């Protein structure tokens, strides 16, 4: 367990003391930091505005999220309301607290802004990243240090991906198809193995009694305990999401990509139709969701579910829309 400086708790308490009028605002920005929201927004960008940018963002998020879920198991730090009863859990979140996954994921907008190079988008990206991070502190689910760590890690990953994207793609696309598949499946397996190693090490670690006691009132009625923070669910979901995006992107490149262009009404129809397919699949996946207490089965469900959602967005929907002329195909050499 890492020590949380007193100023961290003081910042959280002071922020919450500003008043309940902030609650709906902060809950809105926190919602923007969940995977479902990112999938919706990135899908619209990918299908209807900028395919290359959408794919970059779709790859960035599971990479960032995988690193985050592994670090949370490795560090196993508390959320504020676990350690400090004075901090209200205005919004509940699963898992350990360090680093903030919301803050880390919010850097995807800064990553996108680095390619668009538009002042208004930079302003929007910075605002979104800041507000998503602040929302986590106000809602009592992250300390300020956990948010700062999330931002720092996300920015580092963004820098590395921007810096090495071109040489990596040149190397990767020059490989034979079977070697490309081995690399993609191997990286997904590596995420699972590394995450699994830290989860295994947690078997010898006992969660502090005060964390459990402090969180009991907040979790009352939810049927959950913070003991569920230890597990492979998040790691498996992120590994499945990465596999779906990477495999979908590779197959799309080989079969011929598409152009996210056309009249406004056609782009709108593409987005609405695609989201209807997405939501239909999401509902079906949720209907068969096992209980989180069923550790292995829950993790398998998360892996398959995130894989199917990501693969559908990146590959299946675009190629369905090409067939019905909602999207225009392009040669893979132009991708």
Distance CA 282, CA 214 (A): 34
**At residue 134, does pLDDT exceed 80?**
yes
Q: Where are the extended beta strands (E) located within the chain?
A: 258-259, 328-329
Q: Binning pLDDT at 50, 70 and 90, where does residue 296 land? A: confident
Task: Give me the pLDDT at residue 136, please.
Answer: 93
Residue 179 token pair: 């070697």
Identify the bridge partners of residue 258 per DSSP, sorted by sequence position: 329
pTM above 0.85? yes
- Convert the pLDDT of each residue in 309-330 to its tens digit: 999 999 999 999 888 888 887 7
Residue 148 token pair: 């700062």
Task: Give me the pLDDT at residue 196, please.
Answer: 92
Task: Give me the pLDDT at residue 332, please.
Answer: 40
**What sign results for the dihedral spanned by CA atoms 309, 219, 138, 64?**
negative
- Other CB atoms within 10 A of residue 211 CB: 18
DSSP state of 4: P
- Helix 108-116 / helix 119-138 crossing angle, nearest 10 deg: 170
**At residue 4, does pLDDT exceed 70?**
no
Q: Which is nearest to 4 in space by CA: 208, 230, 225, 217? A: 208
Of 144 and 332, more confident:
144
- Convert the pLDDT of each residue in 144-189 to its tens digit: 999 999 999 999 999 999 999 999 999 999 999 999 999 999 999 9
Note whether 165 and 138 are within 8 A (CB).
no
Distance CA 215, CA 209 (A): 10
Return the residue matching tokens 């963004």: 158
- Convert the pLDDT of each residue in 179-226 to its tens digit: 999 999 999 999 999 999 999 888 888 888 888 888 877 776 666 777
Kindly report the backbone phi and psi dihedral angles of residue 175, in degrees, each rounded to the nearest multiple of 5, phi listed first: -80, 160
**What sign results for the dihedral spanned by CA atoms 249, 121, 279, 238?**
positive
Distance CA 38, CA 173 (A): 27
**At residue 292, does pLDDT exceed 90?**
no
Q: For the chain, which residues make up each domain, given as ranges?
A: 21-79+91-202+226-334
DSSP notation for 279-324: HHHHHHHHHTPPPTTSHHHHHHHHHHHHHHHHHIIIIIHHHHHHHT
Residue 262 token pair: 């056309």
**R_g over Cα of the chain:** 20
Q: Binning pLDDT at 50, 70 and 90, where does residue 1 land? A: very low
The count of C-alpha atoms lying within 13 angstroms of the C-alpha of 154, restricted to the half-sphere facing its C-beta, is 29
In a 10 Å sphere around its CB, with 0-12 CB exposed, 13-18 middle and 19+ buried, how is residue 327 labelled?
buried
Note whether 190 and 248 are within 8 A (CB).
no
Distance CA 12, CA 16 (A): 6
Residue 32 token pair: 């923007």
Distance CA 226, CA 104 (A): 22
- Convert the pLDDT of each residue in 43-61 to its tens digit: 999 998 899 999 999 999 9
- Other CB atoms within 10 A of residue 335 CB: 17
Residue count of the chain, please give it. Answer: 335
Identify the bridge partners of residue 328 per DSSP, sorted by sequence position: 259
- Convert the pLDDT of each residue in 67-94 to its tens digit: 999 999 999 888 898 888 888 888 887 7
- Convert the pLDDT of each residue in 109-124 to its tens digit: 999 999 998 999 999 9
């Amino acid at each position: 367990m890492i020590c949380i400086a007193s100023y961290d708790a003081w910042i959280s308490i002071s922020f919450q003391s500003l008043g309940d009028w902030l609650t709906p605002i902060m809950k809105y920005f926190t919602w923007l930091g969940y995977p479902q929201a990112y999938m919706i927004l990135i899908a619209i960008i990918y299908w209807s505005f900028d395919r290359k940018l959408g794919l970059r963002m779709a790859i960035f998020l599971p990479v960032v999220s995988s690193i985050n879920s592994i670090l949370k198991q490795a560090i196993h730090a508390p959320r504020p309301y676990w350690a400090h009863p004075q901090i209200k859990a205005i919004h509940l979140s699963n898992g350990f607290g360090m680093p903030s996954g919301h803050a880390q994921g919010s850097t995807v907008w800064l990553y996108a802004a680095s390619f668009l190079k538009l002042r208004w988008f930079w302003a929007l990206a910075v605002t979104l990243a800041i507000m998503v991070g602040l929302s986590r502190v106000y809602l009592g689910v992250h300390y300020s240090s956990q948010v700062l760590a999330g931002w720092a890690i996300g920015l580092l990953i963004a820098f590395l991906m921007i810096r090495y994207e071109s040489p990596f793609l040149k190397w990767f696309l020059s490989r034979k198809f079977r070697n490309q598949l081995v690399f993609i499946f191997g990286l997904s397996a590596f995420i699972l193995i590394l995450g699994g190693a830290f989860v295994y090490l947690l078997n010898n670690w006992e969660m502090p009694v005060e964390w459990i006691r402090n969180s009991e009132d907040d979790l009352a009625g939810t049927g959950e305990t913070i003991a569920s923070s230890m597990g492979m669910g998040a790691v498996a979901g992120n590994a499945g999401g990465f596999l779906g995006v990477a495999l979908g992107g590779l197959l799309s490149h080989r079969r011929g990509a598409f152009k996210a262009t056309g009249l406004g009404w056609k782009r709108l129809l593409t987005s609405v139709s695609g989201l209807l397919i997405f939501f239909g699949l999401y509902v079906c996946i949720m209907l068969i969701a096992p209980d989180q207490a069923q550790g292995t089965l829950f993790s398998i469900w998360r892996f398959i579910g995130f894989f199917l959602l990501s693969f559908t967005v990146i590959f299946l929907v675009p190629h369905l829309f090409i067939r019905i002329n909602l999207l225009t195909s392009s040669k893979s050499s132009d991708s």
